[in-house]
């Protein structure tokens, strides 16, 4: 598997404060923002040092061009992001740029496109190991640590290169609202989001992530939201993927599968309330790889999204990477112990089935 990295992703400084919020004079020690360098440095380290290392080929990423950014984002929005680089700007209580952060944002988007171009050239899966994440960034809105929508820009680059139909599957613990917004009226891009059922969270995230957000106009039926109750773990995630995601993608028949690889649905992530383990991410990734082989001639692009426990997220990434290679996880899980409420799984699955049916979805 080809992995793409650019050192400039480390130049995006998210500072410190009350976890993700601005600093407080009431605290003796401010905390480093959860979307900061340690999470990605550990992810890179475990891929280079762990058992999967021999199966990976590392490549240099690049910055995105303005034309690539404009394929997804509005021109006025881009001007605001570029202008914020000089002095820095807090776009919301949780989402900020420091002076000089723009290089990191450009590297994340461009490295995602570079990995996509590798997939198209070789037919082999590729991963963009990047930060900041991008799936909350709408065409004209920064949100949730995200500024440029890396998967959205990569999808548009794939279409510019000649592919017609692109599927994006996002299993980050939070709703991929920016990706949804960018393709909401476009039937050529099928967007799927498995996420904790958190609802809207203000002006920067007005989308609810509910099952009835199905697309608009020509795009009606091309956005599938799968909101999962808090406490969902490996079994429910895999059953939902099998029951809803797989038939939807088979019906859509994509030319390319993009995975927005958020790892914050893990048991130990400070930004989620789910119970997915290393094994759970491995199983999801193996299913994604099998679908790419079945539907897309192996064209699979993986773009890193969330994952905010800087130690356990790295282990989850190692397990997922082995899954994207079609292999079981080989590392021993150092932490997982919280039991999934197995007796609730069937009831949760039935409840989601009912919500989807009420929203007009039908699955084979």
pLDDT single digits (tens) 157-188: 999 999 999 999 999 999 999 999 999 999 99
The reported pLDDT for the residue numbered 343 is 86
SS3 301: strand
Contacts of 331 (CB under 8 A, 6+ apart): 50, 51, 278, 315, 318, 319
SS (H, E, C) 119-180: HHHHCCCEEECCCCCCCCCECCECECCECCCHHHHHHHHHHHCCCCCEEEEECCCCCCHHHH
75-121 pLDDT, tens digit per residue, is 999 999 999 999 999 999 899 999 999 999 999 999 999 999 999 99
So which residues are the catalytic ones? 136
What's this model's pTM, rounded to 2 decimal places? 0.98
Does residue 147 contact residue 109 with C-beta atoms inside 8 Å? no
Q: Classify residue 185 by burial, with Cβ atoms within 10 Å: 0-12, 13-18, 19+.
A: middle
Does residue 277 contact residue 266 with C-beta atoms inside 8 Å? yes
The reported pLDDT for the residue numbered 253 is 98
The three-point CA angle 195-149-97 to 5° equals 105
The reported pLDDT for the residue numbered 340 is 86
Low-confidence ranges of the chain (pLDDT < 70): none
The reported pLDDT for the residue numbered 234 is 97
> Could you tell me if residue 220 is left (phi over 0), alpha (psi between -120 and 50 degrees) or otherwise beta?
beta
Cα separation, 280 vs 275, whole angstroms: 9
The reported pLDDT for the residue numbered 311 is 98
The reported pLDDT for the residue numbered 307 is 98
Does residue 143 contact residue 172 with C-beta atoms inside 8 Å? no
Q: Which residues of 254-283 are buried (b: 16+ CB within 10 A; e: fewer)?
A: bbbbbbbbbbbbbbbbebbebbbbbbbbbb
Cα separation, 308 vs 331, whole angstroms: 20
């Amino acid at each position: 598997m080809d992995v793409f990295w650019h050192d400039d992703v480390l130049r995006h400084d998210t500072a410190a404060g009350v976890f993700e919020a601005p600093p407080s004079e009431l605290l003796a020690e401010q905390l480093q923002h959860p979307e900061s360098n340690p999470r990605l440095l550990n992810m890179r380290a475990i891929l280079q040092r762990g058992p999967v290392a021999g199966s990976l080929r590392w490549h240099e990423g690049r910055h995105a061009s303005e034309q690539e950014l404009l394929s997804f984002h509005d021109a006025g929005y881009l001007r605001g992001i570029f202008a914020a680089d000089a002095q820095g700007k807090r776009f919301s209580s949780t989402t900020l740029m420091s002076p000089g952060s723009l290089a990191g944002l450009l590297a994340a988007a461009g490295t995602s496109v570079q990995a996509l171009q590798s997939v198209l050239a070789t037919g082999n899966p590729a991963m963009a190991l990047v930060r900041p994440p991008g799936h909350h960034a709408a065409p004209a809105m920064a949100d949730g640590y995200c500024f440029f929508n890396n998967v959205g820009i990569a999808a548009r680059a794939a279409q510019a290169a000649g592919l017609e139909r692109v599927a994006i599957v996002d299993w980050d613990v939070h709703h991929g609202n920016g990706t949804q917004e960018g393709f909401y009226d476009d039937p050529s891009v099928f967007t799927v989001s498995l996420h904790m059922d958190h609802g809207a969270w203000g002006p920067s995230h007005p989308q609810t992530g509910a099952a009835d957000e199905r697309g608009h106009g020509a795009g009606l039926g091309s956005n599938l939201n799968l909101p999962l109750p808090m406490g969902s773990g490996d079994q429910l995630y895999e059953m939902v993927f099998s029951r809803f995601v797989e038939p939807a993608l088979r019906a859509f028949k994509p030319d390319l599968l993009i995975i927005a690889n958020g790892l914050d649905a893990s048991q130990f992530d400070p930004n989620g309330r789910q119970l997915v383990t290393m094994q759970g991410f491995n199983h999801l990734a193996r299913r994604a790889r099998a679908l790419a082989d079945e539907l897309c001639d192996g064209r699979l692009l993986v773009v890193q999204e969330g994952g905010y426990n800087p130690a356990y997220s790295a282990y989850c990434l190692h397990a997922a990477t082995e899954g994207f290679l079609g292999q079981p996880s080989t590392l021993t899980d150092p932490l997982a112990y919280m039991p999934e409420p197995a007796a609730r799984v069937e009831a949760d699955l039935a409840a989601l089935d009912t919500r989807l049916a009420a929203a007009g979805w039908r699955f084979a």
